Structure 1
Amino acid sequence: MAEEPAGAALAAGTATVLPTGLSAARPALIRALNEQLLLEHIRSSGPYSRADLARVSGLSKPTVSLALGNLERAGLVRLAGHRTGMPGRTAVLYEVRPEAGFVLGLDIGLRYLRGAVADLAGVVRARVSVPVRAATVGDRVAELVDLADELCARAGIDRSAVTQTVVGSPGVYDPQRNLMALTGGLPDWDRPEAIAGLRAAFGPALTIENDVDAAALAEQALGVGRETDSFAFVHVGTGIGMGLVLGGRLVRGVHGVAGEIAFLPLGGDPPAWADAALDAAIVPPEAQRRGTLETAAGADGIVRAAHRRGLTGLATAHSVFEAAAAGDRHAVAVVLREARLVAAAICCVIAVADPALVVLGGGIGQAPGFAEAVTAELAAIAPVRPEVRVSALGTDVVVTGCLAEGVSLAWTQLTAATVP
């Protein structure tokens, strides 16, 4: 049977346009492209019957049958049952085979390491969170490896079955130097041995993702970000960061630093070093390492602001918010200052990107009443007001985003292997 060109699926808007004569010269390539096309339809909207796939792809039924047979033999799709209750013959349905591979999602936090393993249907098979005990970069990598081993053991799989590993990390991965930059409060994570250790442990199928960008991907896949193609995920906790999705795509920027709002020159109440910094062009080590906004508005900045107002007995940002909820006027002032700083950062984002939605995450961003306080501050300063909502994905939001990215990468890897 002559192979049908993948160009027949152009009506679906997803096929690749091939150079003239290529379909005659490369029938194996045409078969592989047809298989990729059908697999993408099954992944995104399945299960499908042969007739369904012929209709949505524009391919003939014989071509669909041939491609499905190849995909089934490759272990990428499986029978999902039959469609009954309709006139004519009972239709056989096909779905992706989740066990075609597995994905590890790992979140490197300052105090906790979190992880999960999922199959290629995105179903989580195991989830683990452990406190950080590492004192060195090597220890931290070793703890991640132990976490991965525990996840695989709980999921009942061997590490060799993992197709992709995605690690969410503070900072920005620099591929030219093969190291992390702008890692904030994570000790020594910008040293070369960090990435070298991860690659040695997890192999070539490893992706390093900024943790807040991973959270934005989670919101896009499973959270409130599904409702729009343009939104900003703003994490406010120990650190501050943003993941920006515009037109349905994560914005990374030329150097990968899109969303690093920690470095905005916003500080609210001027810290003690402000005049000296202006006069002598000196940036204090803390602000240089973590960013001016993060130094002022991260969790440590909230505690410092509370201490300046005499609340020296409060040692955490959480305790400051609790005191504010109990009516302490000094704590209320600190929380309002925090809302003002975050609103100022969001206003900068609005002026440049104009997202339809802002999603607040992190321990501070999700604090009761904080979104309302930020919304009120935005009303006073922003040219337009996007909707401000709180993430509902919890503390595993970074892991969830890593899994979503990993599943997509794994399917790309598996289907690319079928192309000659």
Structure 2
Amino acid sequence: MLATPSGPSGPAVPSGPSKPATSATLREINLRTVFDMIRAQAPISRAEVARQTGISKPTVSALLQDLLDLGLVTETERDEQNSGPTYGALFFAPRPQAAHVLALDVGARRLRGAVADLEGRQLAREDADVAGLDAPRIVEAAATLARRLRESAGIRPDLIQHAAIGVPGVVDLREGRIWQALNIPALDGFPARERFGEALGCPVTLENDIHLAALGEQRSGRGRDAASFCFLSVGTGVGAGLVLRGELHRGFAGAAGELDNVFAEDEIERKDPCAGALLRCAARLFPSGSAPASTEELFALARSGDEAAVAAVDEEARRIAGYLAPVAAVVDVELAILGGGIGLNADLLLDRVTERLASRVPYPPRVEVSTLGEAAVLTGAIAVATREALEQILAPRFTAGHRRP
């Protein structure tokens, strides 16, 4: 099933008395219900759709015709596992190739991309080196990468219905600009949604990369069975994505999860778990001139039993727990998922973080490590893009309470 994050303006705010449902409203609800049923249980017959949804057979027939006209479903054969008599019944299945989506993950060094169908299946996947490029040149690189991905998947440009793009920093969904993004030149304040939309030639959803990673975990990672969880990415930087009661929580300004802001400026160096801060901490623990040059080397030394490296890992676990504790105390999530280059070191961090977190808060969340790794952002981007693409196809069927011809 697709992830369903909050809309562009965050949670809905009541604007007055609710309006009575119209026949067009009910028809739209029924159309989506039938489509979801087909997606979940295909191949499925008309009679079975009616039985399971409680919608009358004539209405189901009309809705199936709508979905056929939209190209979202197709008539199909019953699968081989259910070989009983069909008595001439027609069966229906989703038609994933009705439209396609583009997903991009923008980083300071790598631009990751994928093209997927409406069911989220990746048809092409490729990375591009963007180290040293500023924001306008990354947009150019994205257009080039998108063309290669389309060509690899054999898809015409007009069949890309929607693109979802993960970017570092706080995304202002009202203006489509990015703020507090300092690791890519000229990205801070950049009108990213407008520029990416022009370059890619399709509607674009722009979202913070860690927010998308959280949605990726919800779709097909550790967060699938959790109603409320926090995804904490620890690598060159630190960021968090919150899913609360099944919905992405962006906050009032889209800045939910910016945990660095919890601490005073003079506290950051002692509490920040990012790679640079960890290596500076390790340099104080190792004899002069012998400190590891990378976090990979540091964790390798800890695995070999090096005392200074083990002490640095202990300190890192304390810092990660320190970042998770405010989240656990305020929103009481059931699960914390660690990701990022540092967070993925499950063998050294999982038990340590769990123990320290339990000593900080009375109801600590379960701590697990992401199984998606660097694919989390793209997975979330595909979930968002497919949701938006389907909305673009379905919503115009109903306008101002009247069905379009």
The two structures have a TM-score, normalised by structure 2, of 0.86
The runs of 5 or more residues in structure 1 that have no matched partner are: 1-16, 267-272, 278-291
Alpha carbons of structure 1 residues 295 and 133: separation in structure 2 relative to 1, 3 Å: farther
For residue 277 of structure 2, what is the aligned residue in structure 1? 301
1:280 match: none
CA distance in 2, matches of 1:188, 1:343: 33
> Which of residues 357, 361, 364 in structure 1 aligns to 2:339?
361
Deviations 1:34-53 (A, max 9, x none): 43332232234433210121
Aligned to 1:181: 179
Amino acid of the structure 1 residue aligned with 2:340: G
* 1:101-155 deviation per Cα after TM superposition (whole angstroms, max 9, x unaligned): 1011100112211111110011110111222244322111111111111111111
The alpha carbon displacement at 1:191 in A equals 3.2
Task: Kindly indicate whether residue 338 of structure 2 is the aligned counterpart of residue 342 of structure 1.
Answer: no
One-letter identity of the residue aligned with 1:301? A
In 2, the alpha carbon distance for the partners of 1:129 and 1:43 equals 30
Q: SS state of the match for residue 324, structure 2?
A: helix
Trace 1:193-232 onto structure 2 (pairs within 5 A): 193-203=191-201, 205-232=203-230
Query: 2:271, 2:110 → 1: CA distance?
Result: 21
**Alignment-derived partner of residue 79 in structure 1:** 75
User: Which portions of structure 1, spanning 4 or more consecutive aligned residues, are displaced by more than 4 angstroms?
Assistant: 29-33
**What is residue 358 of structure 2 aligned with on the other side?**
379
Q: CA deviation at 1:390?
A: 0.8
Matches within 5 A, 1:2-401: 19=20, 22-23=22-23, 31-82=27-78, 84-86=82-84, 89-203=87-201, 205-265=203-263, 274=266, 292=268, 296-310=272-286, 312=289, 313-367=291-345, 368-401=347-380
SS at match of 1:388: strand
CA contact (8 A) 1:263 1:293 kept: no
CA distance in 2, matches of 1:154, 1:399: 18
Correspondence for 2:386? 407
Contact 1:126 1:154 in 2 (8 A): yes
> Per-residue CA shift, 1:51-74, capped at 9, x if unaligned?
121123322112211221232122
| Residue identity in the other structure for 2:20 | P
Greater gyration radius: 1
* SS of residue paired to 2:125: strand
| Structure 2 Cα separation of the partners of residues 185 and 263 of structure 1 | 17
User: CA offsets per residue over residues 253-297 of structure 1, 9 Å max, x none?
Assistant: 11111111132217xxxxxx83xx9xxxxxxxxxxxxxx379832
In structure 2, do the counterparts of structure 1 residues 35 and 380 end up closer, same or farther at CA, with 3 Å as the change threshold? Answer: closer
Distance in 2 (CA, whole Å) between partners of 1:169 and 1:295 is 25
2 CA distance for matches of 1:226 and 1:32? 27
Is the 1:171–1:181 Cα contact (8 Å) retained in structure 2?
A: yes
207 and 340 in structure 1: CA distance in 2 versus 1, 3 angstrom threshold: same
Shift in CA distance, 122/195, structure 1 to aligned 2, threshold 3 Å: closer
Count of residues in correspondence between the two structures? 377
Shift of 1:315: 1.8
Counterpart AA for 2:348: G
Tell me how large the CA RMSD over aligned residues is.
2.3
User: What TM-score does the superposition give when structure 1 sets the normalisation length?
Assistant: 0.83
CA–CA separation in structure 2 for the residues paired with 1:105 and 1:293: 35
Task: Structure 2: state its 5+ residue gaps.
Answer: 1-17, 399-403
Superposed displacement of residue 88, structure 1: 6.1
Q: Shift in Å at residue 184 of structure 1? A: 4.2
Q: What percentage of aligned pairs have identical amino acids?
A: 38
| Residues 138 and 193 in structure 1, CA contact (< 8 A), matched pair in contact too | no
Give the distance between the partners of 1:200 and 1:354, measured in 2 at CA: 41
Match of 1:11 in 2: none
Task: Considering Cα pairs closer than 8 Å and 6+ residues apart, tell me whether 1 or 2 has the greater RCO.
Answer: 2
- Do the aligned residues in 2 keep the contact of 1:50 with 1:64 (CA within 8 Å)? yes
Partner amino acid for 1:296?
A: D
